[in-house]
Amino acid sequence: MKKKIAIIGAGIAGLTLANFLKKFTNYEFMVYEKEESLSLEEGYGIQLAANSIKILNEINFEKINNEKIFNPKKLDFYNIKNEKICDLDLSKFNTNESRYTTLQRSILIEFLKEDIYTQYLRFGKKIKEVSELKDKILIKFDDNTNDLVDFVLAADGIFSNTRSFFEKKKNEPKFKKAIAVRVILNSKSDLNISDENISLLLGSNNHIVLYPINKKKELNLVCIMRCKKFDPDNTNQLIKDLVLKQNPKLKNIFDNEIKSWPLYFTPKILPSSNKKVFYIGDAFNGFLPTLAQGAGQSIESAYEIFNLLKETKLDSYTYFELRSKKAKIVRRRSNFNFFTFHFSSSLMQNIRNIFLKFLVKRKTFIEFYLGKVYKS
C-alpha cells in the first residue's frame, strides 16, 4: 500500500516538498494550510543562491518567466553614507544552469503552487488533535475532518504550531531586539549604487540591503534596525532617529509604503521526538535574515526529506544529522553577520571594513565562508 504524508503549511518549504513528491514519487500526500488562500500579495524579495536554484531546476524552475527574476553578479558593500567599501563576486558560485537569483516571494509561491493547487492543497486546516494509531498518526483538524498518515511533515513556519502537539520540550522563537522594514522602489533614484547588484549599506545599529527583483529593476529594500521593542506605530520615528540621523539623504527611499515586522530566531536546534514527524524550513530552525538563507534552507530541507523518502531511508536520526549540520553552519554565519553589520563604534566599523576589503578577495576564505553554505 502507498505510504501517506501530511504536509502542514503551504509556504516555500511545504510547497517545494509537495512538488518533488508529486513529480518523482508514488507517495500519497496532501498539503494542509491554515489560511483560506495562499498569500500572493507582492511580498518581500528573496535571494536564492545557485544551490537552491539547482534544486528548483529539477522541478522546472528554469522555465519561469525570465522577466520576473534577476541574476545579480556582485554584492557591493557601502557604509551608511553610501560610500563604497568593496565588492564580492557572487557569480563564482554560478553554473550555466544555476545562477544566484533574486525575485519576489510571491513569484516563487506562484511557481510552486502551479502543479499542486487543485489536487494536493487544502485550505482552512488547522490541527486540533493528534493521536497515534498502531504505526500511523491520526490528525484531526478543527473543521472536524481528519487524516490518517504514515508521516507528518511540519512546514508551518518559525512559530510551528505542529511542534506543540508532538514536542514536550519548548523551543520558542526569541525576539532578536531588531525589526525589519521593507520598501519596494521603482528605481535606485539618487542612490549611488548599481542596480545590477546587491547593495549592502552598513550603519551603526542598522543596515540596509537593496537588490533588483526583476528585469524592470524594481528594487527590494530591507532595512534592519536594532531596537528593544517592536512598535509598528513607531517605525517612522525609528527610521528618523537611527538611519536618517546617520544619512539624511536616504529620506527619499522611505517615502514609499513601508511594512515592518519583528525579527525572531529559534534559540536551539532540536531533533523531533517522534519518529513519524519531521520539521522542515523555518519550522526546523528560523535563521536571522543576515545571510539571506531562510528560503534557501527551506528548499534544501524539503529536498533532503524528499531524497530520504525516495530511497525509503527516512528516519529521524539520519535527517536530523544531515539538517542540523547544515543549519549550524548557516546559523553561525547569520549570527556573525548580524553582529558585524551593526557595530556602533566607528573604530570597530573601520577595522571591520579593512578586514572586509582584505577577505572578499581571498578565495580560500570565500570558499570557507560562503562555499560551505552554497553547497547542497
Q: Would you tell me which residues interact with ligand FAD (CB under 6 A)? A: 8-14, 32-35, 44, 46-47, 125-126, 155-157, 161, 180, 222, 281-283, 289, 292-296, 298
* Beta pairing, strands 121-122 & 28-32: parallel
Residue position matching grid coordinates 525589526: 179
Minimum separation from the CB atom of position 19 to ligand FAD (A): 13
Cα–Cα distance, 69 to 16 (Å, whole number): 18
Q: Which is nearer to ligand FAD, 80 or 294 (CB)?
A: 294
> Which are the contacts of 68, defined by CB distance < 8 A and separation ≥ 6?
103, 104, 107, 214, 215
- Nearest approach in angstroms of CB 345 to ligand FAD is 25
Tell me if 189 sits within 8 A of 253, measured CB to CB. yes
Question: What is the C-alpha separation between 235 and 12, in angstroms, rounded?
Answer: 28
* C-beta closer to ligand FAD: residue 283 or 360: 283
For the chain, how long is the longest CA-to-CA vector?
66
CB of 350 to ligand FAD, least distance (A): 27
- Minimum Å gap between C-beta 354 and ligand FAD is 27
Q: How far is the CB of 256 from ligand FAD (least distance, A)?
A: 16
Rounded to the nearest 10 degrees, the angle between the axes of helix 12-24 and helix 294-310 is 30
Print the SS3 string covering 134-168: CCEEEEEECCCCEEEECEEEECCCCCCHHHHHHCC
- For ligand FAD, the closer of residues 126 and 310 by Cβ is 126
Q: Residue 217 or residue 353: which is nearer to ligand FAD going by CB? A: 217
Residue 30 has φ and ψ, to the nearest 5°, of -145, 140
Helix (H) or strand (E) holding 237: helix 235-238
Pick 47 or 51: Cβ nearer ligand FAD: 47
Cα–Cα distance between 133 and 270 in angstroms, integer? 25
CB of 305 to ligand FAD, least distance (A): 12
